[in-house]
């Protein structure tokens, strides 16, 4: 199929983007990496009046550490995040997750902000941002506002981003010293959409996991922060008992939808499997070296 006719504007600065968004409202679409928008145009899933190309806007692709936070520009590519020494040192969860995103050609073009704004519940970055307690910066002609990642994702492909706003950057606090991470994803083939996945963070005190955060992808209409499941490791002393309780509690927090290949029950079973794998990995990482 061919894309429907639409106007195209390559913006050179943010004020021009804001002016176009204010003028066109819901009929405008932002083009960043284009790895999701272009297929949607070709399949006529979306039919914009105007497409605003922001790929050449200056200052939106940086990755830097400032005042204990990592600032990631919305135009930073998946590949750039995966290769960044700053990310590898301070947010290794993102570095590990980047390798699971599609294929190299897509990672070289697709952008961090584009993935977050699309809000695909099977995507890696939304779950990682929820796990890391990220703040998303939304810019418009009226200024900027910040919103927590867990509040940004509101439903299937639905976010708190308003029609006159642009996602400009993401601010992620550097995790406390001693924080361990695990990212596990199951897919039919490497690079396919995830069946289910988990982004996990925790600290270890006296051999026990604490401050556990488990964020799931492919397990609901949005990324799911499984707080009740995480609390099992604060309330139960032994790992095996806590794991059993956590796996049992998952059913009350996850609501995976069936797809062409997997039933909802299968996805919930797989979520329990990867939860065990992630938690065992966190425990192993927390053990002192021999």
Residue 2's pLDDT is 80
Close Cβ partners of 76 (under 8 Å, ≥ 6 residues apart): 61, 62, 63, 111, 112, 113
Q: How many helices (H) and strands (E) does the chain have?
A: 12, 14
Is residue 150 within 8 A of residue 142, CB to CB? The reply is no
Residue 207's pLDDT is 67
- The token duo for 270 is 């797989």
Residues carrying CATH 3.30.43.10, the chain: 7-53
What is the number of residues in the chain? 290
- Collapse the DSSP code of 100 into the 3-class scheme (helix H, G, I; strand E, B; otherwise coil) and give the result: coil
CATH class of the domain whose range is 63-173: alpha beta
Residues carrying CATH 3.30.465.10, the chain: 63-173
Residue 182's pLDDT is 97
How far apart (Å, rounded) are the C-alpha atoms in residues 60 and 199?
A: 25
Residues carrying CATH 3.30.390.50, the chain: 180-286
The backbone torsions φ and ψ at residue 157, rounded to the nearest 5 degrees and listed phi first, read: 55, 30
What letter would DSSP give residue 188?
S
* Tally of CB atoms within 10 A around 280: 13
pLDDT, tens digit only, all 290 positions of the chain: 688 888 999 999 999 999 999 999 999 999 998 888 888 888 888 888 899 999 999 999 999 999 999 999 999 999 999 999 999 999 999 999 999 999 999 999 999 999 999 999 999 999 999 999 999 999 999 999 999 999 999 999 999 999 999 999 999 999 999 999 999 999 998 888 899 999 999 987 776 788 999 999 999 999 999 999 999 888 787 889 999 999 999 999 999 999 989 999 999 999 999 999 999 999 887 655 44
CATH no. for 7-53? 3.30.43.10
Confidence (pTM): 0.94
CATH architecture of 180-286: 2-Layer Sandwich (3.30)
How far apart (Å, rounded) are the C-alpha atoms in residues 194 and 185?
A: 6
């Amino acid at each position: 199929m061919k894309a429907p006719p639409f106007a195209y504007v390559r913006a050179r600065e943010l004020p021009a983007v804001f002016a176009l968004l204010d003028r066109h409202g819901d009929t405008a679409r932002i083009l960043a990496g284009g790895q999701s928008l272009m297929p949607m145009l070709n399949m006529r899933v979306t039919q914009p009046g105007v497409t605003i190309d922001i790929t050449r806007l200056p200052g939106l692709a940086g990755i830097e550490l400032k005042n204990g936070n990592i600032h990631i520009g919305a135009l930073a590519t998946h590949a750039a995040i995966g290769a960044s020494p700053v990310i590898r040192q301070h947010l290794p969860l993102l570095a590990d997750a980047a390798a699971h995103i599609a294929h190299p050609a897509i990672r070289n073009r697709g952008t961090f902000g584009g993935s977050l704004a699309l809000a695909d519940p099977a995507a890696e970055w939304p779950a990682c941002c929820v796990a890391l307690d990220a703040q998303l910066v939304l810019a418009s002609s009226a200024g900027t506002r910040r919103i927590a990642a867990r509040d940004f994702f509101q439903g299937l492909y639905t976010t708190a981003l308003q029609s006159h706003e642009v996602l400009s950057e993401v601010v992620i606090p550097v995790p406390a010293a001693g924080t361990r991470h695990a990212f596990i994803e199951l897919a039919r083939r490497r690079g396919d959409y995830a069946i289910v996945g988990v982004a996990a963070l925790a600290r270890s005190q006296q051999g026990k996991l604490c401050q556990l955060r488990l964020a799931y992808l492919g397990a609901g209409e949005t990324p799911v922060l499984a707080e009740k499941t995480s609390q099992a490791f604060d309330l139960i002393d032994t790992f095996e008992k806590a794991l059993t309780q956590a796996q049992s509690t998952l059913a009350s927090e996850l609501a995976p939808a069936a797809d062409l290949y997997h039933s909802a029950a299968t996805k919930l079973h797989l979520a329990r499997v990867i939860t065990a794998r992630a938690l065992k990995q966190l425990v192993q990482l927390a053990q002192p070296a021999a």
